A and B are shown apart, each in its own frame.
Chain A
Amino acid sequence: MKKHRHAASGILVPLAALAFWQLLSSMGWVNATILPSPTQVLIKWWAYLRPLEVFDPAQGSYLKWCFSGELIQDALGSLYRVLLGFFIGTGLALPLGMAMGYSKLVYGLFNPLIQVLRPIPPIAYIPLSILWFGLGNPPAVFLISIGAFFPVLMNTVAGVQNVDSIYLRVGRNLGASRFTQFTRIILPAATPYIFTGARIAMGTAFIVVIVSEMIAVNNGLGYRILEAREYLWSDKIIAGMFTIGLLGLGIDTVMSRLSSYLLKWHRGLEQG
């Protein structure tokens, strides 16, 4: 009962905002080129979403046709870059982070370099990334990997370093080898940290993909909203922005579901 009431009240503010926005436009208080009405945005969104061509079996399957809309192609392109960059960044950060967290020697060797590189925003790598990789997916994926790398690295190091020593004592008491200690105690104990890092990394990846598409790629949501600006299609810009928001929300929901499933033993630090 209470839950339902909360859900109902949660919809109030967005509805009011929409109504106010619609009012602004309908009354002609703002220029439609500056701020188009919500209905106009919705119409544009639908046009952006649906397939451009009429369905033709000769061109391929129905499913393929369904996904042929510009918006879906853009979203898939962005998603592909985010995931690829995320996995490359995470894949490099995890082993290094574990080694740095576990071994003081490795930590001492790598930490100074990491600390110098870490404050450089991924965006600052754009010029170099274009010099090195040209245009298209490679520079974008490179930038996203950098964005994903550091949060995962720092959290993995912290996670491994902060394993409660009592667990290690129990492990030694039960006769666990160093390898078993690492795989069965240190790693699981560090997973809440690692997941926090991964979630931050995903958020960063999402920011970086939009920026990199605005500069180095010829499709994707970031590219599309910048392109729409050239034609003063503010309705398409807003439609694209909402799509970016929805995609981000979707990814974060998946991440949080995944982490609460994998960390169901954990005492609710990962909620929300």
Chain B
Amino acid sequence: MNGPASHISIRGVHQVFQSGGQEVYALKAIDLEITRGEFVCLLGPSGCGKSTLLNAVAGFSLPTSGLITVDGTTITTPGPDRGMVFQEYALFPWMTVEQNIAFGLQIKGKAKPAIQEKVGSLLDMLHLEDFRERYPKDLSGGMRQRVAIARVLAIDSPILLMDEPFGALDALTRRNLQDELLRLWTELKKTILFVTHSIEEALYLADRTVVMTYRPGTIKRDLRVDLPRPRDVASPGFNALKKELSQLLMEEQSRHNQDEFRGAAVD
């Protein structure tokens, strides 16, 4: 069914929640094959189940039915082979930048010199050298997200799962980190599954943008983005795709709004 190239394979996944005695389909019949080294964005309005799908791949909430496999192995628990970056950074506030990054390596039981070397190179890679002794509360949002990315890179997971990681950042910091992420992705050849509600972000980053529908969450469109990198957000090609995606998203957003007017929206 799937070729040997498939890294993450999502087949017939349903995710059903009980809400007020009713069954709500957060995900319905999702099929998605992600190739090794591919950068895939999940795009959709809030409540479309894109984060639910990401959490299912992460192993935090297993699907009600269907299968998610990584390298042919079915996912049953969260694990360090699928590093996750959260929107709210989720750095451990009691650990310094350095300790946060080292934590995953300590869990793996790596030797101290190896940890130090790895942490050093990650601090360097993400330009955090001057902040190694700082606590998260003393960092800006952008810096925190850099640390969160470094923490996940430390454990060398072949897959990165990113849940609107740049959603809380200002435009400039956001672009900066997007470029940084692309650089790391090219350098480290990770498979990235990236959730966003920003069309521009999806088109700027992804090889493929998967548009999801609002409730039940299904795949509305699987769009290959063949624009050359680095991408020019002002180019006609970029804008044509942006327009196309806007149209798709608008339809879902209006269904979302109708639902909200009816007071039925549960996030």
Q: Size class of B's contact patch? A: 20 to 34
Partner of B84, one of A173, A180, A188, A266: A173
CB interface residues, B 57-101, toward A, < 8 Å: 58, 60, 77-80, 82-84, 86, 88, 90, 92-96
List of A residues within 8 angstroms of B82 by Cβ: 173
Q: Which of B108-142 contact A (CB under 8 A)?
A: 108, 135-137
Q: Within 8 Å of chain B (Cβ to Cβ): is A257?
A: no
Report whether B93 and A266 are in contact in the complex, using a CB–CB cutoff of 8 Å.
yes
Residue of B whose beta carbon sits closest to that of A266: B93
For the complex formed, measure the closest distance between the CB of A188 and the CB atoms of chain B, giving whole angstroms.
Answer: 4
Q: A166 and B94 in contact (CB under 8 A), knowing A173-B78, A173-B80, A175-B108?
A: no
Judge if A231 is at the interface, Cβ distance under 8 Å. no
Q: Given the complex, which residues of A lie within 8 Å of B266, measured CB to CB?
A: none
Q: Is the CB of A265 within 8 A of B135?
A: yes
Q: Is the interface of B mostly helix, strand, loop or mixed?
A: loop
Taking A166-B88, A167-B90, A170-B86 as contacts, is the C-beta distance between A184 and B135 under 8 angstroms? no
Nearest A residue (CB) for B161: A173
Of chain A, the residue at the smallest CB distance from B86 is A166
A266 CB contacts on chain B under 8 angstroms: 93-94, 137
- Chain A interface bracket (under 10, 10 to 19, 20 to 34, 35 or more): 20 to 34
Closest chain-B Cβ to A162's Cβ sits at a distance in Å of 14
Residue among A167, A170, A188 with the most chain B CB within 10 A? A170
State how many angstroms separate the Cβ of A174 from the closest Cβ of chain B.
Answer: 4
Asked whether, in the complex, the Cβ of B90 is within 8 Å of the Cβ of A170, the reply is yes
Residue A174 contacts which of B96, B103, B137 (CB distance < 8 angstroms)? B103
Report whether A188 and B60 are in contact in the complex, using a CB–CB cutoff of 8 Å: no
- Which of the residues A173, A176, A265 comes within 8 Å of B83, measured between beta carbons? A173
- Pair B94/A175 contact, Cβ less than 8 Å: no
26-76 of chain B: CB within 8 A of chain A? 58, 60
Name the distance in Å between B158's Cβ and chain A's nearest Cβ: 14
B78 A265 Cβ-Cβ under 8 A: no
* A185 and B92 contact, CB distance less than 8 A: yes
| Given A174-B155, A180-B107, A267-B137, A169-B92 contact (CB < 8 Å) | no
B90 touches A166 (CB 8 A): yes
Residues of A within 8 A of B108 (CB): 175
Give Cα distance in the complex from A188 to B96, angstroms.
Answer: 13
CB atoms of B93 and A175 under 8 A apart: no
Query: Of B80, B90, B95, which contacts A175 at CB under 8 A?
Result: B80
* B137/A265 in contact, CB under 8 A: yes
Q: CB < 8 Å: which of A169, A176, A184 contacts B90?
A: A169
Q: Which of B60, B79, B92, B94 has the most CB of A within 10 A?
A: B94
Given that A175-B155, A267-B137 are contacting pairs, would A191 and B94 also be in contact in the complex, using a CB cutoff of 8 Å? yes
B58: chain A residues at CB < 8 Å are: 173
Whether, in the assembled complex, A3 has its beta carbon less than 8 Å from a beta carbon of chain B, the answer is: no
Residues of B near A170 (CB, < 8 A) are 84, 86, 90, 92
Residues of A close to B79: CB separation below 8 A: 173, 175
Question: Is A72's CB within 8 Å of the partner chain B?
Answer: no
A4 located at the interface, meaning its Cβ lies under 8 Å from any Cβ of chain B in the complex = no
Contacts of B84 in A (CB 8 A): 169-170, 173
B167 located at the interface, meaning its Cβ lies under 8 Å from any Cβ of chain A in the complex: no
Q: Which of A188, A189, A265 has the most CB of B within 10 A?
A: A265
- Measured CB to CB, the residues of A under 8 A from B are 166-167, 169-170, 172-177, 180, 184-185, 188-189, 191, 264-267
Pairs A-B, 10 closest by C-beta atoms: A175-B80, A188-B94, A174-B104, A265-B135, A172-B78, A166-B90, A265-B94, A173-B84, A170-B90, A173-B78
18 more CB-based (< 8 A) A-B contacts, given A172-B60, A265-B96, A267-B137 = A166-B88, A169-B60, A169-B78, A169-B84, A173-B82, A174-B104, A174-B151, A175-B79, A175-B155, A177-B107, A184-B103, A189-B92, A189-B94, A191-B94, A264-B135, A265-B93, A265-B135, A266-B94
**27 A-B interface contacts by CB (under 8 A):** A166-B88, A166-B90, A169-B60, A169-B78, A169-B86, A169-B90, A170-B90, A170-B92, A172-B60, A173-B83, A174-B80, A174-B103, A174-B104, A174-B155, A175-B104, A175-B107, A176-B107, A177-B107, A184-B103, A188-B95, A189-B94, A191-B94, A265-B135, A265-B137, A266-B94, A266-B137, A267-B93
